[in-house]
Amino acid sequence: MRTERPTRSNFDAIRDHLFDRIHKSGEEVKNNFANILRTAIETEAWTHFTDAEGKPFRNLVEWLHGTYPHGASMGQGKHALNYDDVLQLTEAAADVHRVLKGESPYEPERKGGAR
C-alpha cells in the first residue's frame, strides 16, 4: 500500500510511459503496458490533466485518446496502438481490461464505429 501521494512529475511519467508504449512497436516495449495502465487507474492519473481546451478528461480512455502532452495520443499516428489493440494487450490483466471495456469509446448503436 502506498503511503506517499503521487506528485505532478509522477503523473507526467505515467503519461509519458503510456505514450512511449502506444507509439513504439515491439513486444519488449509493450511488455509492461498493462502494469502502467494499472498504475494510471489506481492513481486516477487522467484527473490530473486537461485537454487542449482546458477541460478535464472524463475517464481513462478519453485521456488515453487525448493529444500529447495532455493525453497519450492513443490511435493517433500510423504505428500507434488503437483502442482494440490496447484491449488485446490487456486481456491477461483482467482488472485493467475490465476498466478499459467499461469506458469504451464506441457508441453501442454503432457496433464498432468510433465516436
pLDDT digits (tens, 9 = 90+) for 14-56: 999 899 888 876 665 566 889 999 999 999 999 999 999 999 9
Q: Could you tell me if 34 and 92 are in contact, meaning their C-beta atoms sit under 8 angstroms apart?
A: yes
Residue 114 lies in a domain: no
Residue 28 lies in a domain: yes
Residue 1 lies in a domain: no
The count of domains in the chain is: 1
11 pLDDT higher than 50: yes
What is the domain extent for residue 74?
A: 8-106
Residue 31 lies in a domain: yes
Distance between CA atoms of 23 and 29, rounded to whole angstroms? 10
69 pLDDT higher than 90: yes
Residue 60 lies in a domain: yes
Residue 48 lies in a domain: yes
Closest CA to 102 of 83, 80, 85: 83
Query: Which triple of cell numbers denotes residue 76?
Result: 493517433
Residue 61 lies in a domain: yes
Distance between CA atoms of 99 and 82, rounded to whole angstroms? 16
- Please name every residue paired with 106 in a beta bridge, in sequence order, or none if there are none: 114
Q: The pTM is what?
A: 0.77
